[in-house]
């Protein structure tokens, strides 16, 4: 059991002043995994004040010192990798193999990537009679979700350390325990007191207090679009920078010259990974009308054999959803797809066969989905794939762009130039051609209601920097 009773503020573990605790439930067993304290706005004030006090000295730290911390933290992730992967699987329900790779392996590599980037990044530039210098923005508030909890935290903490910023992290209610282990590690590395602070608690209290705080210079938020809007509203009066990484409803276009069988197979994992609880999941599949039956046959056969169950079983590909709320919400979307007349080709309502407890749903696929349906328009955040057909490339692009979101996308074609031309016409922050792999050094972020920031790589570092022009 992981009972964490204190917050990490100013280099010390201290009592929280909020009432009660937040219980963390294992979504596979519905048992208690641990708990974390409820922070208050007074705890936020203390953490922000500590971060403010630490800023002058830390902002002057050398690039070598920062790179050293990042590399040491990455090494600790490796050392304690199995423990972290098991912990996150117990918080989120992610299948253990995927947890090792995506929940711990990726952030460990991201940490090292920022240490490396510091060696080459141009912090200064000459523009005619000006010297333009990039400086740490100051005190950063980081508000993060539960679905890839440590990856999303490191996507903010690593560039903030690299930039020379100080920070206050508020992790999600569902999966906060990994953030406490991270705090233990940063404490062990002797990061100067106040550079990193952790305040767990409710979004409506701790998240709002951080967003509105006059002494916070940047809020870096990842989560739902609704909460992102509230963060922006709370932040506006103090004119701080707000960067938002929000939801998605991304389209995967199979063009008529593509290797249909491969594209159809890969489309399943691109939607179902982490039980579909991935902001950049490719949840809408667009297929040429003539290939509809072939795609439906391949996908329905494969999804029928998709293993769902205990995320600690190495052979399982789909675990539970994170919470009973999430299970209820995804189940409601599955019912709405049936009611609205889409063709159910795999999965459906109710628990997967053989499972009686845990927050599971059946991995589900609908064909003949039309753009007026809720399952086409709304982010479901579960293993539900919506397939539709199109007649021309222009129609496919229009359908893909027919979304309030614009986070990710996919294009499949035998002709890379053709795929590239379609990719350029998609109003999204990421596009993968023929299953092109995720790149931890490329900017990640959204167009439209999917957000306004970019994380990872040099673009992610820029978010934590202010720019000053000095004329001579």
Annotated catalytic residue, options 174, 245, 379, 463: 245
Answer yes or no: 245 catalytic.
yes
Binding of ligand NAD at residue 43 (CB under 6 A)?
A: no
Binding of ligand NAD at residue 379 (CB under 6 A)?
A: yes
The token pair at 344 is 């159910």
Q: Which of 407, 422, 431, 449 binds ligand NAD (CB under 6 A)?
A: 407
**Alpha-carbon gap, residue 37 to 20, rounded angstroms:** 7
Binding of ligand NAD at residue 459 (CB under 6 A)?
A: no
> Length of the chain, please?
472
Binding of ligand NAD at residue 53 (CB under 6 A)?
A: no
> 282-288 and 130-136: which strand pairing?
unpaired
Binding of ligand NAD at residue 283 (CB under 6 A)?
A: no
Binding of ligand NAD at residue 235 (CB under 6 A)?
A: no
Residue 399's CB is within 10 A of a number of other CB atoms, namely 18
Binding of ligand NAD at residue 245 (CB under 6 A)?
A: yes
CB-nearer residue toward ligand NAD: 255 or 271:
271
Binding of ligand NAD at residue 180 (CB under 6 A)?
A: no
Q: Is 36 helix (H, G, I), strand (E, B) or coil?
A: strand
CB-nearer residue toward ligand NAD: 309 or 460:
460
List the interface residues with ligand NAD, window 408-447 (CB under 6 A): 446
Residue 466's contacts (CB-CB under 8 Å, 6 or more residues apart) are: 134, 135, 136, 137, 138
Give the binding range for ligand NAD (CB under 6 A) out of 37-45, 99-107, 177-185, 216-224.
216-224
Instruction: Please provide the DSSP assignment of 345-409 as one string.
Output: EE--SSPPTT--SSS----EEEES--TTSHHHHS---SSEEEEEEESSHHHHHHHHH-SSEES-E
Report the nearest approach of ligand NAD to the CB of residue 120 (Å): 25
Place of tokens 């000006």: 130
Angle at 166 between CA 161 and CA 168, to 5 degrees: 110
Give the binding range for ligand NAD (CB under 6 A) out of 10-18, 27-35, 63-71, 239-247.
239-247
Helix ranges, 207-317 (H): 208-212, 225-235, 260-272, 292-304
Binding of ligand NAD at residue 232 (CB under 6 A)?
A: no
Compute CA 429 distance to the chain's CA centroid, rounded to the nearest angstrom.
14
For residue 328, the surrounding DSSP H or E stretch is: helix 324-339
Q: Which of 107, 138, 223, 460 binds ligand NAD (CB under 6 A)?
A: 223
Cα-trace Rg, the chain = 22
CB-nearer residue toward ligand NAD: 50 or 199:
199
**Alpha-carbon gap, residue 425 to 398, rounded angstroms:** 9
Annotated catalytic residue, options 140, 165, 271, 279: 279
C-alpha pair distances (Å), 9 with each of 154, 210, 255, 375: 18, 14, 53, 43
Binding of ligand NAD at residue 146 (CB under 6 A)?
A: yes
What single DSSP character describes residue 255?
-
**Alpha-carbon gap, residue 92 to 98, rounded angstroms:** 12
Binding of ligand NAD at residue 212 (CB under 6 A)?
A: no
Binding of ligand NAD at residue 143 (CB under 6 A)?
A: yes
**Alpha-carbon gap, residue 256 to 258, rounded angstroms:** 6
CB-nearer residue toward ligand NAD: 11 or 446:
446
Binding of ligand NAD at residue 145 (CB under 6 A)?
A: yes
Binding of ligand NAD at residue 227 (CB under 6 A)?
A: yes
Give the binding range for ligand NAD (CB under 6 A) out of 38-46, 206-214, 300-308, 387-395.
206-214
CB-nearer residue toward ligand NAD: 178 or 389:
178
Report the nearest approach of ligand NAD to the CB of residue 437 (Å): 17
Binding of ligand NAD at residue 159 (CB under 6 A)?
A: no
Q: Which of 134, 156, 170, 454 binds ligand NAD (CB under 6 A)?
A: 170
For binding to ligand NAD (CB under 6 A), which residues are involved?
Answer: 143-147, 152, 170, 172-173, 203-204, 207-208, 211, 222-224, 227, 230-231, 245-248, 279, 379, 381, 407, 446, 450-451
Report, as residue numbers or ranges, the catalytic residues: 245, 279
């Amino acid at each position: 059991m992981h009972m964490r009773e204190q917050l990490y503020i100013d280099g010390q573990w201290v009592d929280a002043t909020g009432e009660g605790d937040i219980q963390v439930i294992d979504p596979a067993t519905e048992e208690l995994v641990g708990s974390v304290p409820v922070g208050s706005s007074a705890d936020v004030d203390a953490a922000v004040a500590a971060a403010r006090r630490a800023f002058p000295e830390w902002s002057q730290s050398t690039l070598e010192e920062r790179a050293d911390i990042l590399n040491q933290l990455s090494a600790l992730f490796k050392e304690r990798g199995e423990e972290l992967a098991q912990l996150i699987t117990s918080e989120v329900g992610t299948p253990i193999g995927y947890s090792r790779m995506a929940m711990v392996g990726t952030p460990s590599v991201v940490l090292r990537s920022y240490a490396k980037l510091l060696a080459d990044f141009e912090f200064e530039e000459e523009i005619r009679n000006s010297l333009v210098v990039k400086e740490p923005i100051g005190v950063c508030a980081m508000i993060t979700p539960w679905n890839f909890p440590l990856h999303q935290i490191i996507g903010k903490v690593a560039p903030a350390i690299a930039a020379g910023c100080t920070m206050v992290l508020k992790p999600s209610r569902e999966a906060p325990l990994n953030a406490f282990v991270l705090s233990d590690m940063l404490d062990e590395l002797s990061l100067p007191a106040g550079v990193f602070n952790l305040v767990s608690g409710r979004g409506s209290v701790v998240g709002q207090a951080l967003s509105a705080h006059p002494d916070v210079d940047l809020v870096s938020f990842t989560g739902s679009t609704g909460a992102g809007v509230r963060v922006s509203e709370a932040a506006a009066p103090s004119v701080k920078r707000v960067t938002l990484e929000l939801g998605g409803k991304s389209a995967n276009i199979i063009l008529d010259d593509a290797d249909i069988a491969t594209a159809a197979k890969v489309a399943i994992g691109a939607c179902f990974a982490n039980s579909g609880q991935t902001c950049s999941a490719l949840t809408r599949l667009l297929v040429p009308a003539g290939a509809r039956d072939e795609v439906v046959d391949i996908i329905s056969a494969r999804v029928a054999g998709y293993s769902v169950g205990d995320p600690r079983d190495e052979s399982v590909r789909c675990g539970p959803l994170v919470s009973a709320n999430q299970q209820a919400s995804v189940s409601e979307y599955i019912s709405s797809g049936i009611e609205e007349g889409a063709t159910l080709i795999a999965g459906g309502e109710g628990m997967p066969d053989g499972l009686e407890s845990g927050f599971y749903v059946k991995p589900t696929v609908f064909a003949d989905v039309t753009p007026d349906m809720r399952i086409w328009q709304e982010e479901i955040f579960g293993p539900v794939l919506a397939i539709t057909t199109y007649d021309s490339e222009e129609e496919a692009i229009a359908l893909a762009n027919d979304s309030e979101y614009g986070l990710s996308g996919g294009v499949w074609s035998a002709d890379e130039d053709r795929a590239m031309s379609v990719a350029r016409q998609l109003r999204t922050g990421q596009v993968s051609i023929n299953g092109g792999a995720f790149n931890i050094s490329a900017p990640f972020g959204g167009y439209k209601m999917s957000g306004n920031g970019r994380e990872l790589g040099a673009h992610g570092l820029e978010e934590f920097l202010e720019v000053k022009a000095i004329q001579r």
